[in-house]
Chains A and B, each alone.
Chain A
Amino acid sequence: MSAFGEAALRRNPAWVQLLGLCPLLAVSNTVANAAGLAVASAVVLTGSAFFIASVRRWIPADVRLPCFVLVIATFTTLVHLAMEAYAFELHQRIALFVQIVVTNCMILGQVERVAAKVRVGRALVDALGASAGFAAAILAVGAVREVIAVGFPLAAMPAGAFVIAGLLLALANALAARDWRFVPRRSSARRSPETPLERQ
């Protein structure tokens, strides 16, 4: 699988790594909001990854996280101001979450794990892949919620967001594993070995 596909699918930030869940749920009440936030996140992620990969040699390891966060915050401020200037209506609806892109753990995770360690070209491809994966996830949740909310307003509310995102994630898992079995109580490999029941 190519680096782009690997970043977008196998390491999908939203569905595989479960990073960036807040915007995925909060701004996915309509497709327009979801698309706005997907673009904002993509610009911030790609810009930060490009910048950090280019200067990675001069960032001391001990203070790398503050440096990364500063770069991400700068790009977020740029996107926030640009959106206020050119897409004011959209900005009014999702302003808080555009500013909160800076704390999207998908972006810091991506920068820390990939951009800080590889060459610029590779970092760029990886960031674009992760952006595409995140956009696909948030647009999917947004589309499903908007359609269901027509007849069932609960889908637009927080409770609906969680349930729909959970079911979509299950669908993604099922498609990836092609495994529809019921997992019996004892054979689950992913079960935490330290549940209180077992310790007793």
Chain B
Amino acid sequence: MADLLLILLSAALVNNFVLVQFLGLCPFVGTSARFETTVPMTLATMFVLAVAAVATNLLHHHLLAPFGLEYLRIIAFIVVIAACVQFTELFVRAASPLLHRMLGLYLPLITTNCAVLGVVLIAVDEGLSLARTLVLAIGAGAGFGVAIVAFAALRERINDDAVPAPLRGVPLALVTVGFMALAFHGLRGIGAGMGA
């Protein structure tokens, strides 16, 4: 139980997938311009992450590995992730057309959210059990949520400030993320102490 908690905290904070491992930056920058879209985006991503992580774990251990087909894993995993995203998109479109329009291109692009494939590949590379894989996926989603909600709030403030024209928008956003990453970097000291 304790090690599951460690995996969760490590994935969400210490080794934050966005700020420390550079995974999932496109939706992070793309959907953080407005505060309202961040929470739905996080939930959609976390849902896809969890389902895809469980599905790929089963696929890898019960189909690919027994037949020595590990080299096909990129293709197999991306198909599983795409199916999960398609399902999520259908659900969001039916549940809230407005939300579907707000998320726009970024919803189908969860397929190409490298955080999803990254988490899945890391879980398989490290030979994590099914429970640990699921916890890692949820932690990664939570970390994405923490980072994007904080960042969107900062970004709305920055939008109202007078800044040099070339820096306006994404360049200043990236610099801001840099300072957030610095803050998260401070957590690594704690992580080392926890053996994470």
Contact = CB atoms under 8 A, between A and B. Distances in A.
Contacts of B78: 69-70, 73, 102-103
A21 B26 contact: yes
B46 interface: no
Interface string B104-123: 00001101111011100110
A130 interface: no
Contacts of B75: 70, 73-74, 77
A49 interface: no
A69 B82 contact: yes
A17 to B, nearest CB: 10
B44 interface: no
Tell me if A's interface is mostly helix, strand, loop or mixed.
helix
Given A21-B25, A65-B82, A158-B20, A191 B159 contact: yes
Q: Indicate the member of B30, B116, B165 with the most A CB atoms within 10 Å.
A: B165
B166 A177 contact: yes
A-B pairs with the 8 shortest C-beta distances? Answer: A166-B174, A162-B178, A26-B22, A174-B166, A163-B178, A170-B171, A166-B175, A159-B182
26 contacts: A26-B21, A26-B22, A66-B86, A69-B78, A73-B79, A76-B74, A77-B71, A96-B125, A99-B121, A102-B78, A102-B112, A102-B117, A103-B78, A103-B112, A105-B109, A108-B111, A161-B22, A165-B174, A166-B175, A166-B178, A177-B166, A185-B160, A185-B162, A188-B159, A190-B169, A197-B160
